[in-house]
């Protein structure tokens, strides 16, 4: 039996009321509207599709179990995404695999300026001209190589299109921090996606230098 068609006419408040009374169809309607966002939030933290699906399921079950605690002032999706991110972080702590990732993660937001590389011919390399698959791979690798705190913000802001405010809320950081991390993530991505000397895609090395130009 497939998933039910979500009732888009019922308001969030009505659906929550029904869901609190144990109506799983109502609850699923709420979830269905943001299930992709849940998956993306899980991937943002875990960087792994299989784990992301499991964590998404756990988060949804946890949300159902804790529905009485949802105050209804915020959006349901924000609340659910927050639960997802927390579940993902718990999973990350339990999973020792991430300890072996070679990530140069600095403990504090570094004060060093990111000096963007100078690629004179970037503008002359339109994405349409590149092999689609090659580009996808380069993109995937570049994102996977970002330090976790930059990757999380990049995915939530630029893939999921959450607002700065919402991103700050679900990650538990300040808006200023979101903006600073997003800047660094975007600039690092640009550096990583540099066209090679011969104009074709190269993934480049993910060594982001801290440079003081003065």
Size of the site for another protein (CB under 8 A): 52
Q: Is 36 in the site for another protein (CB under 8 A)?
A: yes
Per-residue x/- marks for another protein, 184-203, CB under 8 A?
--xx-xx--x----------
Out of 43, 45, 92, 168, name the contact with another protein by CB under 8 A: 43
Out of 7, 17, 33, 53, name the contact with another protein by CB under 8 A: 53
Q: Is 40 in the site for another protein (CB under 8 A)?
A: yes
Out of 26, 27, 48, 169, name the contact with another protein by CB under 8 A: 27
Angle (CA) 126 131 137, round 5°? 105
Per-residue x/- marks for another protein, 154-183, CB under 8 A?
xx--xxxx--x--------------x--xx
Q: Is 98 in the site for another protein (CB under 8 A)?
A: no
Query: Nearest-CA neighbor of 140 among 164, 159, 122, 123?
Result: 159
Q: Is 76 in the site for another protein (CB under 8 A)?
A: no
Closest CB 49 distance from another protein, rounded Å: 7
DSSP the chain: --PPPP-SSS-HHHHHHHHHTT-HHHHHHHHHTTHHHHHHHHHHHH--HHHHHHHHHHHHHHHHHTGGG--SSS-HHHHHHHHHHHHHHHHHHH-GGGGGS-----SS---SPP-----TTGGG--GGGS-HHHHHHHHHHHHHHS-HHHHHHHIIIIIS---HHHHHHHHTS-HHHHHHHHHHHHHHHHHHT-B-TTSSB-------------
Under a CB-based contact definition with an 8 Å cutoff, are residues 120 and 197 in contact?
no
Closest CB 200 distance from another protein, rounded Å: 16
Closest CB 62 distance from another protein, rounded Å: 10
List residues binding another protein (CB under 8 A): 2-4, 22, 24, 27-28, 31-32, 35-36, 39-40, 43, 49, 53, 56-57, 60-61, 64, 113-116, 118-120, 122-123, 127, 135-136, 139-140, 143, 154-155, 158-161, 164, 179, 182-183, 186-187, 189-190, 193, 213
């Amino acid at each position: 039996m497939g998933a039910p068609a979500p009732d888009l006419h019922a308001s969030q408040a009505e659906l929550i009321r029904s869901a609190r009374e144990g109506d799983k169809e109502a609850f699923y309607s709420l979830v269905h509207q943001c299930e992709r966002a849940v998956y993306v939030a899980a991937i943002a933290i875990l960087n792994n599709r299989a784990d992301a699906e499991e964590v998404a399921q756990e988060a949804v079950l946890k949300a159902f179990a804790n529905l009485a605690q949802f105050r209804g002032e915020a959006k349901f999706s924000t609340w659910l995404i927050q639960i997802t991110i927390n579940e993902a972080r718990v999973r990350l702590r339990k999973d020792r695999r991430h300890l072996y990732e070679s990530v140069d993660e600095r403990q504090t937001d570094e004060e060093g300026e990111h000096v963007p590389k100078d690629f004179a011919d970037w503008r002359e390399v339109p994405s349409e001209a590149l092999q689609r698959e090659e580009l996808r791979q380069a993109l995937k690798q570049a994102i996977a190589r970002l330090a976790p705190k930059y990757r999380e913000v990049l995915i939530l802001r630029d893939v999921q299109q959450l607002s700065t405010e919402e991103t700050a809320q679900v990650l538990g950081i300040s808006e200023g921090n979101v903006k600073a991390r997003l800047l660094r993530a975007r600039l690092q991505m640009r550096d990583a996606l540099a066209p090679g000397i011969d104009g074709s895609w190269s993934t480049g090395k993910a060594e982001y230098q801290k440079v003081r130009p003065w």
